[in-house]
């Protein structure tokens, strides 16, 4: 079975100039034909994003199931990670993980691809401090160990593949890009183009293609992978 998945830090649904881009983001996801999306920096009922429930807005426009994992409470609103899926979401759990500054988490969903196939699809946004990220990665691995189905982890790790958190997670899961030696960037850090957004998977899943999509809808580029589930 072939599924198309995406990871996308949507920057609160705004571009780098502060313009609301949710409509464009929903069109992009639809045009690419993505089955499951892991989103980071999702606003729900926050003043800065006009009190929109961003995850529900995207789900309604795309006619997809959704889950939201709030990590920061800000008045009546919240900020966190989200998942969109064309397939039913059977279970969901938001895990708060070790944080020095901004509260971080990993949102886990069990998704039913068909009657015989289920996967755990998770999305996360790691911290800005290297030591913090390493502890977070170890906590994520403990969560993954308890999951009984194949796993896909997506997210903004805030570090390049040389980082310790990436190395820790990729000792258990497979980086979908490095497994095929794909080269792309997802973020501009000063004058340097870097890859800090990832799709990672357990054994039994094979990568047919992966690429970053050129877009100015956020400060990050979305990454899309076609994955074959051989389980």
Number of domains in the chain: 1
| pLDDT (tens digit per residue) in 105-132 | 999 999 999 888 999 999 999 999 999 9
CATH number at residue 67: 3.60.10.10
Q: What is the pLDDT of residue 191?
A: 84
What range does the domain containing 133 cover?
2-229
Three-state DSSP string of the chain = CEEEEEEEECHHHECCCCCECHHHHHHHHHHHCCCEEEEEEEEECCHHHCCCEHHHHHHHHHCCEEEEEEEEEECCEEEEEEEEECCCEEEEEEEEECCCCCCEEEEEEEEEEECCEEEEEEEEECCCCHHHHHHHHHHHHHHHHCCCCCEEEEEECCCCCCCHHHHHHCCCCEECCCCCCCCCCCEEECCEEECCEEEEECCCEEEEEEEECCCCCCCECCEEEEEEECC
Instruction: Supply the pLDDT for residue 180.
Output: 67
């Amino acid at each position: 079975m072939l599924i198309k998945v995406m990871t996308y830090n949507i920057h609160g649904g705004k571009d780098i100039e502060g313009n609301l881009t949710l409509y464009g983001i929903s069109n992009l996801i639809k045009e690419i034909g993505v089955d499951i999306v892991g989103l980071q920096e999702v606003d729900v009922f926050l003043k800065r994003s006009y009190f929109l429930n961003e995850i529900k807005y995207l789900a309604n426009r795309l006619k997809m199931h959704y889950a939201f994992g709030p990590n920061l409470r800000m008045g009546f609103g919240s900020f966190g990670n989200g998942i969109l899926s064309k397939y039913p979401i059977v279970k969901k759990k938001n895990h708060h993980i070790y944080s020095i500054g901004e509260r971080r988490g990993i949102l886990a969903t069990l998704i039913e691809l068909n009657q015989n196939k289920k996967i755990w699809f998770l999305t996360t946004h790691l911290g800005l401090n290297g030591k913090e990220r390493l502890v977070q990665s170890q906590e994520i691995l403990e969560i993954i160990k308890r999951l009984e189905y194949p796993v896909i982890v997506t997210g903004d790790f805030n570090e390049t593949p040389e980082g310790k958190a990436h190395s820790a997670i990729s000792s258990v899961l497979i980086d979908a890009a490095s497994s095929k030696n794909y080269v792309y960037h997802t973020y501009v850090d000063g004058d340097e183009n870097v890859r800090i957004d990832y799709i990672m998977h357990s054994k039994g899943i094979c990568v047919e293609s992966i690429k970053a999509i050129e877009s100015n809808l956020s400060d990050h580029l979305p990454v899309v992978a076609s994955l074959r589930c051989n389980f």
